[in-house]
Amino acid sequence: MSQRIPATELSANFRGRAGEALADGQLSSNFRTAMDSLMQKRANAFPDADEREGLRELGNRIKARSLSKLPDLLEQLEQKLTENGVKVHWAETVEEANTLVHNIIEARKGRQVVKGKSMVSEEMEMNDYLAERGIECLESDMGEYIVQLDGEKPSHIIMPAIHKNARQVSKLFHDKLGEPETEDVNQLIQVGRRTLRQKFMEADVGVSGVNFAIAETGTLLLVENEGNGRMSTTVPPVHIAVTGIEKVVANLRDVVPLVSLLTRSALGQPITTYVNLISGPRQPDELDGPEEVHLVLLDNGRSGAFADAQMRQTLNCIRCGACMNHCPVYTRVGGHTYGEVYPGPIGKIITPHMAGLHNVPDHPSASSLCGACGDVCPVKIPIPELLQRLRQENVKNPEEPQLVKGGGAKFSRKERWIWRSWQMLNTRPGLYRLFLWAATRMRALAPSNVGPWTENHSAPVPARRSLHDLAAAHLDSSGETSS
């Protein structure tokens, strides 16, 4: 599972990767153990179901309200941040965002970048972009540091290295850094800490993500547990924050319930160890902080989702990862199977807007629609409903105008014909009863191989008599009509 292949080459083959992941017993076991623990932590963090449901409802409304005035809030955010001395940049595509970041670094002749955890920078593949231009970009989040060291991508949006256990991390540190092997997690963390401490001091630029951008005050809020976020945003002379346009909220009051939902849903924490509120560069009377602060606001398909009232709910996401922790599919196949930056249920509904459905044609189908994700989503994104909607977009005729980029990726005349036949069977009662009659009378002829179904099941054999038949006989004999 340590592939480092461009996402576009992987994306047409979810099933293949799922099969490989399922065959890897260590991987499955790492995920099951970790996800069980995370589900338990979340449950413990919300002991009162009424309080939890009230808070989720509030979170949903705050996000819906913020999105309803998204253009205005973004304008206000830019104005306030500018007043605070933060330079605001807009990027429609990841290429634009990378160019912006690169230009900022080049203007300072920067060669070393230290990065706090940021999923948007993963969207941008910023590390690779900068590396190709001679700039070293080091991940400072422990999990991100581990996956970067191994040339991998994150397998979870909150816990990037969750697919590895302590033994595997120890081996990695031994192989790559020459460290003695140990399964003591604290010792392993010390290894990372030693390396990173030095890098924070040397770095020319610090990059971070943003959890919430507050329009009223021009504040960037960043939660984290390792202190690396604070180091990345305060020690280097330049701080570049990158985030998606959907992260903006109206005011600090809106943030309180959202942060509570985020930390409790993600790791079961009442609050993270660090909550950074960044309002601008170092002021003349201040002792520390960066000389320059930049914010890059990235669209990357988000405005496409925004344009559709139903799909817009995708942008409610506050990136807690609870949907993946509770997903029976993610739990079994892990994050790399999705082949994209955002794995799990949220990845399945957001990636099509970024990469196009044609690049992730199997994503909408990779769900039993069990509903666990929608049940735990802190901002009540109806993920199963949106998956179903994407399935509709997926089977449209590609020659028709598409609402979602790359729609019609699963269009098949053969499958449409099958469903048309199914429709005919189920809308003509006489035909349906004839089918029942034939299937039950000729049950001995039922095929023993029914495609993929018989990979996991014995072949289904129809009963001797259908319920239509039995009910008619029963209700006649008991004197009732069966109209």
Partner 1 sequence: MSELFYDAAPNATRVAPERETDRHYPDKPEAVTLFGTCVVDLFFPEAGLDAIRLLEREGIRVNFPQAQSCCGQPAWTSGYRNEARAVARAQLEVLDRPGLPVVVPSGSCAGMFRHHYRALFADEPDTLKRVEALAERTFELTEFLLKVCRVQLSDQGEPSQIALHTSCSARREMNTHLHARELLGQLDKVERVDHDHESECCGFGGTFSVRMPEVSGAMVNDKTRSLIDSGAVEMVTADGGCLMNINGSLEKQREAFRGRHLASFLWERINGSAAGEVA
Exposure pattern of 8-41 as b/e (b: 16+ CB <10 Å)?
eebbeebeebbebbeebeebbebbeebbeebbeb
Q: Closest distance between partner 1 and the C-beta of residue 377, in Å?
A: 12
Contact string 394-413 vs partner 1 (x = CB under 8 A): xx--------------x---
CA distances (Å), 185 to each of 142, 153, 188, 197, in order? 11, 21, 5, 18
For partner 1, the closer CB: 186 or 456: 456
Cβ atoms within 10 Å, residue 133: 11
Among 22, 64, 252, 275, which residue sits at the site for partner 1 (rule: CB under 8 A)?
A: 22
Contact string 413-452 vs partner 1 (x = CB under 8 A): ---x--xx-xx-xxx-x--xx--x--xx----------xx
Closest among 267, 263, 268, 281 to 223, alpha carbons compared? 263
Among 244, 374, 378, 406, which residue sits at the site for partner 1 (rule: CB under 8 A)?
A: 374
Site stretch for partner 1 (CB under 8 A), options 115-123, 148-156, 275-283, 329-337 = 329-337
Sheet with 112-115: list strands edge to edge.
86-91, 292-298, 238-244, 205-208, 112-115, 136-139
Among 40, 79, 251, 397, which residue sits at the site for partner 1 (rule: CB under 8 A)?
A: 40
- Residue 67 contacts residue 246 (beta carbons within 8 Å): yes
Among 368, 434, 441, 447, which residue sits at the site for partner 1 (rule: CB under 8 A)?
A: 368
Count the site residues for partner 1 by CB under 8 A: 77
Site stretch for partner 1 (CB under 8 A), options 115-123, 159-167, 273-281, 328-336 = 328-336
Site stretch for partner 1 (CB under 8 A), options 73-81, 166-174, 196-204, 456-464 = 456-464
Sign of CA dihedral 335, 246, 99, 350: positive
Q: Which amino acid is at 330?
A: Y
CA distances (Å), 417 to each of 46, 401, 414, 421, 423, in order? 48, 21, 5, 6, 10
Q: Closest distance between partner 1 and the C-beta of residue 422, in Å?
A: 6
Site stretch for partner 1 (CB under 8 A), options 121-129, 184-192, 292-300, 458-466 = 458-466
**CA–CA separation, 38 and 156 (whole Å):** 12
**Quick check: 27 binds partner 1 (CB under 8 A)?**
no
Please report, as residue ranges, which positions from 333 to 362 form the binding site for partner 1 (by CB under 8 A): 333, 362
**Which tokens belong to 191?**
């290894």
- Residue 229 contacts residue 93 (beta carbons within 8 Å): no
Q: Closest distance between partner 1 and the C-beta of residue 427, in Å?
A: 4
For partner 1, the closer CB: 189 or 425: 425
Q: Closest distance between partner 1 and the C-beta of residue 22, in Å?
A: 5
Q: Closest distance between partner 1 and the C-beta of residue 163, in Å?
A: 16
Provide the pairing of β-strand 219-224 with 212-214: antiparallel
**Quick check: 475 binds partner 1 (CB under 8 A)?**
yes
Site stretch for partner 1 (CB under 8 A), options 124-132, 165-173, 246-254, 464-472 = 464-472
Phi/psi class of residue 268: alpha, beta or left (left: φ > 0; alpha: ψ in -120 to 50)? left
**Quick check: 25 binds partner 1 (CB under 8 A)?**
no
Q: What is the dihedral of CA 127, 128, 130, 136, to 10 degrees?
A: 60
> 451: exposed, middle or buried (C-beta count within 10 Å: 0-12, 13-18, 19+)?
exposed
**CA–CA separation, 224 and 48 (whole Å):** 25
For partner 1, the closer CB: 74 or 373: 373
For 294, the enclosing helix (H) or strand (E) is strand 292-298
- The contacts of residue 46 (CB under 8 Å, 6+ apart) are 52, 264
Among 26, 273, 388, 397, which residue sits at the site for partner 1 (rule: CB under 8 A)?
A: 388
Q: Closest distance between partner 1 and the C-beta of residue 267, in Å?
A: 14
Cβ atoms within 10 Å, residue 109: 7
**Quick check: 481 binds partner 1 (CB under 8 A)?**
yes
Among 24, 92, 385, 403, which residue sits at the site for partner 1 (rule: CB under 8 A)?
A: 385
**CA–CA separation, 62 and 379 (whole Å):** 9
Q: Closest distance between partner 1 and the C-beta of residue 305, in Å?
A: 18
Among 2, 5, 36, 273, which residue sits at the site for partner 1 (rule: CB under 8 A)?
A: 36
Contact string 185-224 vs partner 1 (x = CB under 8 A): ----------------------------------------
**Quick check: 26 binds partner 1 (CB under 8 A)?**
no
Among 10, 11, 18, 114, which residue sits at the site for partner 1 (rule: CB under 8 A)?
A: 18
**CA–CA separation, 322 and 190 (whole Å):** 28
Q: Closest distance between partner 1 and the C-beta of residue 337, in Å?
A: 9
Site stretch for partner 1 (CB under 8 A), options 85-93, 153-161, 229-237, 473-481 = 473-481
First-to-last C-alpha distance (Å) of the chain = 59
Please report, as residue ranges, which positions from 43 to 62 form the binding site for partner 1 (by CB under 8 A): 43, 49
Q: Which amino acid is at 197?
A: R
